[in-house]
């Protein structure tokens, strides 16, 4: 099992630094060398000794009870996602006896991608490490055609941080990048012994200064609903709402479904994409494109012929 103490120590320090005395209901009087809470202030709020909390932050304590972690989470004002992450990195799962099996899409999930395509709704499936396991045609036209990439590069984080097109595509790229790094950090808390995840984080850290800065913030993020804004090179600005659904056969997959307000400019823009009105619409791709990480013919080509 990888040593989790540094992960816990880094997360505690970063979380404490983000919490101001005012947010914690403490007096801000006097000179302060830190912008966030002092260790002794956090320990007092959590009801633990300063020495014990200091050992946790310095990676010198091998364990902490769930009750103590809950108290610290409360003092740090962590949300539900952050609390889960804290528990995961403080009490990691035993190392797997063998590497995790590659994730594949169930036939029913592939069918859902087609169903959402027929409803003019972009949809794609994310797996561990933000790997893109499948997408329908409209998602490929709106974002990018992941099936055209090598299997090892079909990853949302790689696209956001390493593809120059992403900065132009996302109207609020900075927020998308921050959320992406935070989602990857959440995944790292659950899968600390995943060598592919470690390789991904290493590659991004080497190639993207923006990722390095965001990763150092130690933020975690997961959201099942929200809004995304695109500036598409063919149809202009598109705003979509999204919902993340969890397939019953694999709770570590997320079926991301996008939608637009009926009659809106964004809905019209998606209609333009799917109908191929623009002469610049991408050419069809082979009908029987396989090896999409699914075990089935890739859902992307359906509707292209």
Q: pLDDT in tens for each of the 305 residues of the chain?
A: 345 678 888 899 999 988 888 888 887 766 777 778 889 999 999 899 999 999 888 888 777 888 889 999 999 999 888 888 888 888 766 565 466 778 888 888 999 999 999 899 999 999 999 999 999 999 999 999 999 999 989 999 999 999 999 999 999 999 999 999 999 999 988 888 889 999 999 999 999 999 999 999 999 988 889 999 999 998 999 999 999 999 888 888 999 999 999 999 999 999 998 887 333 434 433 333 233 333 333 443 332 22
Our count of domains for the chain comes to 2
Clarify whether residues 114 and 170 are in a common domain: yes
Assign residue 184 the CATH number of its domain.
3.30.450.180
- The CA–CA distances, whole Å, from 35 to 38, 178, 252 equal 9, 21, 37
Q: Report yes or no on 20 lying in a domain.
A: yes
* pLDDT confidence of residue 285: 34
- Distance in angstroms (rounded) separating the CA atoms of residues 297 and 95: 33
Residue 302 lies in a domain: no
Whether 72 is in a domain gets the answer yes
282 belongs to a structural domain: no
Mark whether 84 and 112 lie in a shared domain: no
Domain extent at residue 213: 107-275
Which residues are 226's β-sheet partners? 242
- Looking at the structure, tell me whether residues 86 and 115 fall in a common domain: no
Count CB neighbours of 129 within 10 A: 23
For the domain that residue 68 is a member of, what is the CATH number?
1.10.260.40
**Shared domain check, 236 and 117:** yes
Residue 283 within a domain? no
Alpha-carbon span 231 to 171, nearest angstrom: 6
């Amino acid at each position: 099992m990888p040593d989790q103490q540094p992960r816990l120590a880094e997360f505690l320090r970063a979380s404490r630094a983000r919490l101001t005395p005012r947010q914690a209901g403490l007096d801000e009087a006097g000179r302060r060398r830190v912008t966030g809470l002092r260790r002794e202030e956090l320990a007092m709020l959590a009801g633990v000794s300063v020495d014990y909390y200091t050992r946790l932050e310095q990676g010198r304590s091998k364990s902490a009870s769930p009750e103590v972690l809950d108290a610290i989470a409360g003092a740090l004002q962590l949300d539900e996602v952050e609390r889960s992450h804290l528990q995961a990195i403080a009490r990691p799962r035993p190392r797997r006896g063998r590497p995790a099996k590659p994730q594949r899409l169930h036939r029913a999930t592939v069918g859902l991608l087609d169903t959402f395509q027929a409803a003019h709704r972009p949809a794609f499936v994310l797996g561990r490490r933000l790997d893109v396991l499948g997408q329908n045609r409209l998602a490929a036209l709106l974002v990018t055609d992941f099936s055209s990439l090598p299997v090892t590069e079909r990853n949302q984080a790689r696209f956001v941080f390493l593809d120059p097109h992403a900065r132009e595509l996302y109207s609020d790229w900075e927020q998308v990048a921050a959320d992406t790094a935070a989602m990857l950090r959440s995944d790292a808390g659950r899968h600390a012994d995943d060598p592919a995840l470690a390789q991904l984080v290493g590659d991004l850290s080497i190639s993207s200064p923006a990722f390095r800065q965001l990763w150092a913030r130690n933020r975690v993020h997961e959201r099942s609903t929200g809004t995304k804004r695109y500036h598409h090179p063919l149809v202009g600005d598109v705003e979509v709402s999204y919902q993340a659904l969890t397939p019953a056969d694999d709770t570590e997959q997320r079926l991301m479904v996008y939608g637009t307000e009926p009659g809106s400019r964004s809905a019209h823009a998606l209609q333009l994409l799917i109908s191929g009105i623009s002469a610049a619409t991408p050419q069809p791709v082979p009908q029987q494109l396989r090896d999409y990480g699914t075990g089935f013919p890739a859902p992307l080509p359906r509707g292209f012929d």
